[in-house]
């Protein structure tokens, strides 16, 4: 089969491209913006990438067009031509279910935060246990080096996104996956471009819960009132909760011993200690979810804990991009106030009293709409200096960050932003760059500028 993917360079659609190629299909694709690591991954597999959505791509005559949710009516000439000619098309999630997931034990990780990291942990635990899982993750787990793969294993781990499926299917992506094991990491308001409020997202999570069989398992964050409401609307599957209180008779708990060690208990019974390189309470919660899901697939808890000690995290999660003149530059995907705050807290655990210079690009649809602007200053309060790139924003980032006083500055020119950070940075500083996009290659530009000023 020849499939042509519209929006191929997004993390999800790029993952589908990888899996389809490994399944023996011919894969081509197009997108408007191409940047690493996805572009490198696709080109290494010999997948032809076409810049833009020109109508003449129908001349490729694929068996089917696979449509990403970046595609909208009236914006891409290729999509309009596909519709006008009556050519066959399908959404990415539906194609994935019909051609890959239908016969698999699907382990789906959903939630506002931590999906990528938890999925990476879970896939690594299953891999280390010899279960050889397939997976599709919205990032690159460093234990594997690629964001997706197809295997002959019955197990498949997928990052289950609540964003809508396609312009012609407004259900959340995850309702297509029909998991046997479902992780509900957390649930906050996000995706303000498609959801009017938190209740609307809770409804989609309820739809996911409806698809989990009675002999499956739901792993749920026991601290989230939103998830309690979701489960209260109807649940026909056993539930294990993570992050429970000390005196809880059921569920999973992590008790930190120091910054890199925590004890795990299940229903009040000690399971052992995880010693690893990750930081922060959010990652301990992610780990509990991964351990619970892996246990459902047959991996003993003790074995899973040992495997987590060798987990190398996911690219763009507090990833060190370089160090120049004693200044360390990090890359992180954080793009929601809660994720920004937890990322800063994790880095603070690591660096102690050394200065953190936080650099933010409000790039996600929710952030660009200004929905979260009232929470932005508080989420960045843990940094000594804050730099915000406001290019293209329709709201006043300076006003949103006014509560930080002189610690914060706003820039609309990327060169000026790089110059300002470089002028401020001194040996021992940690520059934390946060964006869910390429951010104009700012990491390399910063490192180069810091080197020039040495």
Q: At 390, is the secondary structure helix, strand, or coil? A: coil
Same domain for 224 and 347? no
Same domain for 135 and 195? yes
Q: For residue 147, is pLDDT > 90?
A: no
> For the chain, how many residues are written?
454
Confidence of residue 124 (pLDDT cuts 50, 70, 90): very high
- Which of 1, 56, 58 is closest to 27 using CA atoms? 1
Q: At 428, is the secondary structure helix, strand, or coil? A: coil
Confidence of residue 454 (pLDDT cuts 50, 70, 90): low
What pLDDT is recorded for position 314?
Answer: 72
Confidence of residue 35 (pLDDT cuts 50, 70, 90): low
The residue-averaged pLDDT of 163-180 equals 95
Please give the distance of CA 146 from its chain centroid, rounded to a whole number. 14
List pLDDT tens digits, range 311-353: 987 777 778 899 998 999 999 877 788 888 888 988 888 888 9
The residue-averaged pLDDT of 359-366 equals 81
Contacts of residue 43, Cβ cutoff 8 Å, sequence gap at least 6: 49
Q: Please give the order of strands across the beta sheet that includes 217-221.
A: 148-149, 134-136, 155-159, 105-110, 181-184, 217-221, 239-242, 252-258, 261-266, 269-275
- C-beta separation of 377 from 400 below 8 A: yes
List pLDDT tens digits, range 81-100: 999 999 999 999 999 999 99
Residue 283, both tokens? 């990652």
Same domain for 134 and 220? yes
Confidence (pTM) = 0.83
- Which of 416, 353, 402, 406 is closest to 382 using CA atoms? 353
- C-beta separation of 181 from 119 below 8 A: no
List pLDDT tens digits, range 36-72: 666 777 888 889 899 999 999 999 999 999 999 999 9
Query: End of a domain among 63, 92, 121?
Result: 92
DSSP string, 225-239: HHHHHHHHT---S-E
Confidence of residue 434 (pLDDT cuts 50, 70, 90): confident
List pLDDT tens digits, range 241-286: 999 887 778 899 999 998 889 999 999 999 999 999 888 888 999 9
Query: End of a domain among 282, 308, 334?
Result: 308
- Which of 343, 320, 316, 274 is closest to 125 using CA atoms? 274
Q: For residue 365, is pLDDT > 80?
A: no
Domain range for 29 is 2-92
Same domain for 76 and 115? no
Q: Measured in Å, how far apart are the chain's first and last C-alpha atoms?
A: 55
Q: For residue 191, is pLDDT > 80?
A: no
Same domain for 111 and 196? yes
What pLDDT is recorded for position 41?
Answer: 75
Give me the CATH number covering residue 353.
3.90.190.20
The total domain count for the chain is 3
Residue 153, both tokens? 């294993």
Q: How far is CA 442 from CA 81, 218, 411, in A?
A: 37, 40, 13
The least confident of 106-110, 140-144, 295-299, 445-449 is 140-144
Q: For residue 450, is pLDDT > 70?
A: yes
Give me the CATH number covering residue 260.
3.40.1190.10
């Amino acid at each position: 089969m020849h499939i042509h993917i519209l929006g191929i360079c997004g993390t999800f659609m790029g993952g589908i491209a990888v899996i389809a190629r490994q399944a023996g299909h011919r894969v081509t694709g197009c997108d408007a913006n191409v940047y690493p690591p996805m572009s490198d991954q696709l080109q290494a597999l010999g997948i032809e990438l076409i810049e833009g959505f020109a109508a003449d791509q129908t001349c490729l005559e694929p068996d089917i067009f696979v449509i990403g949710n970046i595609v909208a009516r009236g914006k891409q000439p290729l999509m309009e031509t596909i519709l006008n000619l009556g050519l066959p098309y399908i959404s990415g999630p539906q194609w994935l279910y019909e051609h890959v997931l239908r016969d698999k034990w699907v382990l789906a990780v959903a939630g506002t935060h931590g999906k990528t990291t938890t999925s990476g942990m879970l896939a690594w635990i299953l891999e280390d246990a010899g279960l050889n899982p397939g997976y599709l993750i919205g990032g690159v787990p460093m234990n594997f080096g690629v964001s997706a793969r197809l295997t002959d294993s019955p197990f498949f781990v997928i990052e289950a996104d609540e964003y809508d499926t396609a312009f012609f299917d407004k259900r959340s992506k995850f309702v297509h996956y029909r998991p046997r094991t479902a992780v509900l990491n957390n649930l906050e308001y996000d995706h303000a471009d498609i959801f009017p409020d938190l209740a609307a997202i809770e409804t989609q999570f309820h739809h996911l819960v409806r698809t989990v069989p009675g002999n499956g398992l739901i792993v749920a964050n026991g601290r989230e009132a939103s998830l309690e409401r979701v489960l209260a609307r109807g649940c026909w599957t056993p539930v294990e909760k993570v992050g429970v209180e000390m005196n809880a008779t059921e569920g999973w708990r992590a008790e930190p011993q120091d910054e890199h060690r925590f004890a795990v208990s299940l229903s009040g019974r000690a399971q052992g200690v995880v010693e690893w390189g990750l930081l922060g309470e959010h990652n301990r919660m992610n780990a509990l979810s991964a351990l619970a899901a892996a246990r459902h697939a047959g991996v003993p808890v003790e074995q899973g804990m040992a495997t987590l000690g060798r987990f190398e995290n996911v690219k763009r999660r507090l990833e060190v991009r370089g160090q120049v003149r004693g200044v360390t530059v990090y890359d992180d995907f954080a793009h929601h106030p809660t994720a920004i705050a937890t990322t800063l807290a994790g880095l603070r655990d690591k660096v102690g009293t050394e200065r953190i210079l936080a650099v933010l690009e409000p790039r996600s649809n929710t952030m660009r709409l200004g929905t979260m602007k009232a929470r932005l200053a508080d989420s960045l309060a843990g940094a000594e200096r804050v730099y915000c790139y406001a290019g293209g924003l329709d709201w006043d980032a300076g006003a949103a960050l006014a509560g930080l006083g002189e610690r914060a500055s706003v820039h609309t020119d990327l060169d000026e932003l790089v110059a300002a950070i470089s002028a401020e940075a001194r040996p021992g500083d940690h520059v934390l760059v946060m964006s869910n996009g390429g951010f104009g290659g700012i990491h390399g530009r910063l490192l180069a500028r810091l080197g020039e000023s040495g």
